[in-house]
A and B are shown apart, each in its own frame.
Chain A
Amino acid sequence: MSVILIIEQVLNGLQFGVMLFLMAAGLTLIFGVMGLINLAHGSLYMVGAFAAAWVAGLTGSFVLALGAALAAAAAAGALIEMLVIRRLYKAAHLDQVLATFALILIFSEGTRWVFGSFPLFLDVPAYLSGPITLPGGIQYPFYRLVLIGIGVAVALALWWLTARTRLGIQIRAGENDREMIAALGVDISRLYTLVFALGAALAGLAGALVGAIQSVQVGMGEPVLILAFVVIVIGGIGSIRGAFIGALLVGLTDTLGGIFLPELFKLFMGTGAATQTGSALASMAVYILMSIVLIWRPAGLFGGQS
């Protein structure tokens, strides 16, 4: 077990974590401002990935593909917000879970209808591919470093948006008291559509970025969606800072657990049994982490009320 391997795995964990953050940020914003559980967030991730793969296939440009992902996901988000989601803000959580579950079915099968069951491929562009050498002589894929950079940049931009802009003030006010800001003359339904589209665009961006290192296929959004929920529950629902810390925790736990838990068990078990126990435990690690956090702090790390 060398230092280089550990650093590589930590970077992998960070990369996974910041991509989860892109998903989780939208989810937590939507829950914080509108009080809505949106299971269809994973579908918006998928929409982004498919839009990117389609545009990249037509034009060959990765930048255009990312633009298409942002636009398509934001448009799909705004559309479902106006058609369906808007009617759910006052509904019980159970109804929200069901209606957005229904949206997943519609999105997934609809995409299968249009694009077929075979995965699409989105290639990392030449100027971003290949390894680069980090200080200390570590070879690491450049694209993954770029992903970490984009994730951190988006986190900073979101912080700036919520803390320093007029829209951010409205969003934070909406979290605290929606009747009051409506009374102060803010068009609340426009604000809601905007926040929903913003969250959707972030999910679409994540889908496109991750789509370039995995395959783009129907059902790709749901595993990420579940992990993003784990992230926002750990961080405390509604808190962007919580989502960022939760995302890094989950990303690192998942990545490092898969590598180090089997090694850990080898210290006091046979190799075969250790690999099996270790990998079984590693695949459960993030959920164990989440239940421990919830048992310790029932409203998450940075959550106020539940």
Chain B
Amino acid sequence: MIPERILNLVVILGFIAVPIWAVFADEIFTLTLVTKAMILGLAAVGLNIALGIGGMVSFGHAVFFGIGGYAMGILAHHAQTFTPLSVGPITMAGTKSMPVIWITAMLVSAAVAWVIARLSLRTTGVYFIMITLAFGQMFYYFTISWGTYGGEDGLPIYVRNSFPGLNTLVPLQYLMLCGAALGLALLLQWRLRASPFGLALNAARQSPARAETVGLDPMRIKLWAFVISGTITGLAGALFADLNRFVSPTMFSWQLSGELIILIIIGGVGRLFGPVIGAAVFVTLEHWLGGLTDFWHVWLGVILLFIVLFGRGGIIGFLTGKEGPHV
């Protein structure tokens, strides 16, 4: 049995060693895969705050992933076509600057997360799962039928957006940028869990009634946890769109919401590094099994079944010999 700290350290070292190897071996595609794993990991870190710590099984986190993607797509589209962007009475120019895009993505995600949480937290259990799914579907169908930004075909962005002082067109530099975002999010998740807010959130998951008797307001705590969670996933969406230089309604699809949950389950629910390990394993499997057979989803399904039926606590639970928190 490996202590969780050592395991986390191994994962961090892996995320540093693989890109270094890839640069020396000139394996550019591996860099793209690592960047993808980092971004999906970041999205899942966001979901993990709601799901793992807060116990809110959101089946609609693709909403924030998609909002982040479309924040990037819309701003960069107006910048590349030199058309002004009008939001109600305000008219502004598009932008190709990553910091501006990220802040927009996070602000919009936070606002939408607040509204969704306000409405959804009235329900519990299956109804919560289903109402978050419904919100995801609303955004999905809205973007499909909204022709201005490509509708069903999506929106291509020709050149990756820029970050001051970096050349984001160099794969390694973009990878490091995504790695930094992931690192910050992990740091935030780690600090959050140890903070009074995180402890209160933990209590609100385990027993709302008891949390209430000691003077906490479980609803409010969960609401803000959901907002933080959506904000992080929104940032991941913007990064993902920039990795592919393309946004489409599939970023809002319920399959994506399901995949984000899968990442967390594979890694280990409520664990600090669960989402990251899950994302790394998922991307590796997708690449490796996808190369072996066109039907790799069958094997992904079988692996998932085994993890759910026999491997409580995901990979981290298996390696450390300890079950994770119960959701």
Asked if residues A103 and B134 are in contact (CB atoms below 8 Å), the reply is no
**A290 & B124 in contact (Cβ 8 Å cutoff):** no
Q: Please determine whether B142 and A93 come into contact, CB atoms closer than 8 angstroms.
A: no
- Chain A residues within an 8 Å CB radius of B326: 92
B158 contacts chain A at the CB level, 8 A cutoff: no
Question: Are A113 and B135 within 8 A (Cβ)?
Answer: no
Q: Which residues of A contact B188 (CB under 8 A)?
A: none
- Give a binary string over B135-170; 1 marks a CB under 8 Å from any A CB, 0 the rest: 101100110111110000000000000000000000
Near A by CB (< 8 A), chain B positions 119-139 give 119, 122-127, 129-131, 133-135, 137-138
Chain A residues with CB under 8 A of B129: 37, 93, 97
Complex formed: what's the CA distance from A229 to B134 in Å? Answer: 9
Task: Give the interface centre of B125, B127, B146, B262 by most chain A CB atoms within 10 Å.
Answer: B127
Would you call A106 and B298 a contact (CB within 8 A)? yes
Cβ of A104: which chain B residues have Cβ within 8 Å of it? Answer: 301
Residue pair B126, A94 in contact (C-beta under 8 Å): no
- Given the known interface contacts A97-B129, A105-B298, the answer about A280 and B145 at a Cβ–Cβ threshold of 8 Å is yes
Task: Tell me how far the C-beta of A42 lies from the nearest C-beta in chain B, rounded to whole angstroms.
Answer: 11
Give the CA-CA distance A79 to B134 in the complex, in Å: 30
With contact pairs A37-B126, A102-B302, A298-B122 given, residues A233 and B145 touching in the complex (Cβ less than 8 Å): no
| Given A103-B301, A233-B130, A300-B127, A98:B122 Cβ within 8 A | no
Q: Are A294 and B131 in contact (CB under 8 A)?
A: yes
Across-interface contacts of A58 in B (CB, < 8 A):
none
* Residue from B51, B125, B145, B308 in contact with A279 in the complex, judged by beta carbons closer than 8 Å: B145
B324–chain A nearest beta-carbon distance, Å:
11
Kindly state whether residue B305 has any CB partner on chain A within 8 Å.
Answer: yes
With both beta carbons as reference points, the residue of chain A lying nearest to B312 in the complex is identified as A95
- Residues of B within 8 Å of A283, CB to CB, are 141-142, 144-145
A residues contacting the other copy or chain, number (CB 8 A): 45
Chain B residues with CB under 8 Å of A98's CB are 261-262, 265, 304, 307-308
Q: Which residues of A contact B51 (CB under 8 A)?
A: 94
A98–B312 alpha-carbon span in the complex (Å): 12
A47, chain B: closest CB distance, angstroms: 15
B137 proximity list for chain A (CB < 8 A): 226, 284, 287
Asked if B309 and A99 make an inter-chain contact with CB atoms under 8 angstroms apart, the answer reads: yes
* Cβ-defined contact, B301 with A105, below 8 A: yes
Q: Does A93 contact B298, Cβ atoms closer than 8 Å? A: no
In-complex Cβ contact of A93 among B57, B144, B145, B300 (8 A): B57
Closest B residue to A289 by beta carbon equals B134
Interface size grouping (class) on chain B = 35 or more
Does B24 lie at the interface of the complex (its beta carbon under 8 Å from any beta carbon of A)? no
Query: Within 8 Å CB of B304, what residues of A?
Result: 98-99, 101-102, 105
Q: Does A306 contact B (CB under 8 A)?
A: yes
Evaluate contact between B254 and A287: CB separation under 8 angstroms. no
Check A298 against B298 for contact (C-beta < 8 Å): no
Is A237 an interface residue when CB atoms closer than 8 A count as contact?
yes
- Say if the beta carbon of A230 comes within 8 Å of chain B: yes
| CB <8 Å contact, B59 and A97 | yes
In the complex the two chains form, is B309's CB within 8 Å of A284's CB? no
* B61–chain A nearest beta-carbon distance, Å: 13
At the interface, yes or no: A149 with Cβ under 8 Å from chain B?
A: no
Which residues of chain A come closer than 8 Å to B147, judged between CB atoms? 276
Query: In chain A, what residue has the closest Cβ to B143?
Result: A280
The answer to whether A291 and B302 have CB atoms under 8 Å apart is no
B171 interface contact, C-beta 8 A: no
- The reply to whether B144 and A229 form a contact with Cβ atoms under 8 Å apart is no
A299 at the interface (CB under 8 A from B): yes
Bound-complex Cα distance A124 to B91 (A): 55
By a CB distance below 8 angstroms, the chain A residues around B220 are: none
User: Is B327 on the interface with A (CB-CB < 8 A)?
Assistant: yes
A239 to B113, CA, bound (A): 31
Closest to B258 in A: A101
Closest to A103 in B: B301
Say yes or no for B287: interface residue by CB 8 A criterion: no
A48→B305 CA distance, assembly (Å): 23
Q: Using Cβ atoms and an 8 Å threshold, which residues of chain B touch A84?
A: 305, 309
Residue of A nearest to B310 (CB): A87
| Bound-state Cα–Cα, A113 to B298, Å | 10
CA distance A106 to B265 in the complex (A): 18
B301-327 residues with Cβ-Cβ distance < 8 A to A are 301-302, 304-305, 307-309, 326-327
Return the contact of A105 from the options B59, B131, B146, B300 (Cβ within 8 A): B300
CA distance A226 to B300 in the complex (A): 22
1/0 contact trace for A70-94 toward B, CB 8 Å? 0000000000000010011001111
Query: How far is the CB of A10 from the nearest CB of chain B, in Å?
Result: 22
A229:B133 contact, CB within 8 angstroms: yes
A132 to B16: give the CA distance in the assembly, Å: 70
Min CB–CB distance B295 → chain A (angstroms)? 5
Chain A residues 29-85 with CB under 8 Å of chain B are 31, 37, 84
Q: Judging by beta carbons under 8 Å apart, are B138 and A284 in contact?
A: yes
Residues of chain B lying within 8 A (CB to CB) of residue A226 = 133, 137, 254
A92-B327, A94-B269, A288-B138 known; A306 vs B123 contact (CB < 8 Å): yes
The interface centre, meaning the residue of B122, B141, B258 with most chain A CB atoms within 10 A of its CB, is B141
- The answer to the question of B297 belonging to the interface, with a C-beta cut-off of 8 Å to chain A, is yes
Which 7 interchain pairs have the tightest Cβ spacing?
Answer: A105-B301, A102-B304, A283-B141, A106-B301, A102-B301, A280-B145, A109-B298
Could you jot down 11 A-B contacts, CB within 8 Å?
A93-B126, A93-B129, A97-B59, A102-B301, A103-B301, A106-B302, A108-B297, A233-B131, A276-B147, A282-B145, A306-B127
